[in-house]
Copies of this chain bind each other. A is one copy, B any other.
């Protein structure tokens, strides 16, 4: 819980808001900026590459997520962050954040919580890619997206998928072609419906079961306090 002083400090933070087009880089591997970006609107993702050109999306960010808290403490980024859609981000100077963190223990641990939840999510993705078949993997990702976006803005279960099938594949360790087939399978079985890029979760319980989805790893309650 934040005390009043902490709240005040947060609200007087000097931030610079900027709009960013889709598919542009917010962070590049190896390059460290002097500011942290906070996602206000839109979606972005972290990615890493293998030498053979293989790509892995290793996490998604939705509005309310920090883009690169890691750059505050590490001076070389180990991955890229790229926007998925048009985004609005708030930049905060490293110096300000550092000051904030040392002066307000509550904010410090709040940031810790944010970082730890992200780590937890990456672990769940590792389980997903390593130990679930394509159908469950895809279903799991769909469940995560709905859960995380509705936690932000009480959305219903229809949303336009912000990702291409190729990107979905890279997030799941699958081929775009296979993603397509699995997507159709889920549709055929009445778990989801699609119209162009728009996806509707038709049967949430069924999808969750198919996905082996349990939202514990998202630490929704802990996140609320930040």
* B residues in contact with A216, CB < 8 Å: 76, 78
B127–A126 touching, CB < 8 Å: no
Contact of A219 among B58, B76, B127 (CB under 8 A): B76
Q: Are B50 and A127 in contact (CB under 8 A)?
A: yes
A interface list, Cβ under 8 A from B = 46, 48-52, 54-56, 58-59, 70, 72-76, 78-79, 98, 101-102, 105, 108-109, 112-113, 115-120, 122-127, 129-132, 136, 170, 172-173, 212, 216-217, 219, 222
Q: Which residue of B lies closest to A217 (CB)?
A: B78
Copies of this protein in the complex = 2
Given contacts A56-B123, A73-B113, A74-B222, 13 further A-B contacts (CB under 8 A): A48-B126, A49-B127, A50-B131, A50-B136, A50-B212, A54-B131, A73-B109, A73-B116, A78-B123, A101-B105, A112-B112, A112-B115, A115-B116
* Bound complex: CA A55 to CA B76 (Å): 32
CB neighbours (8 Å) of A50 from chain B are 127, 131-132, 136, 212
Q: Cβ of A130 and Cβ of B51 under 8 Å apart? A: no
For A109, the closest partner residue in chain B by CB is B73
Which residues of B lie under 8 Å from residue A122 when comparing CB positions?
119, 122-123, 126
Other-chain residue from B52, B79, B129 in contact with A129 (beta carbon distance below 8 A)? B129
**Chain B contacts for A219, CB-based, 8 A:** 74, 76, 78
Residues of B contacting A98 in the complex (Cβ-Cβ under 8 angstroms): 105, 109
CA distance A25 to B78 in the complex (A): 31
**B56 close to A116 (CB less than 8 A):** no
Q: List 20 A-B contacts (CB under 8 A).
A: A49-B127, A54-B131, A56-B130, A56-B131, A70-B119, A72-B112, A73-B112, A73-B116, A74-B120, A74-B219, A76-B216, A78-B216, A78-B217, A78-B219, A79-B120, A98-B105, A102-B105, A119-B122, A130-B173, A131-B173
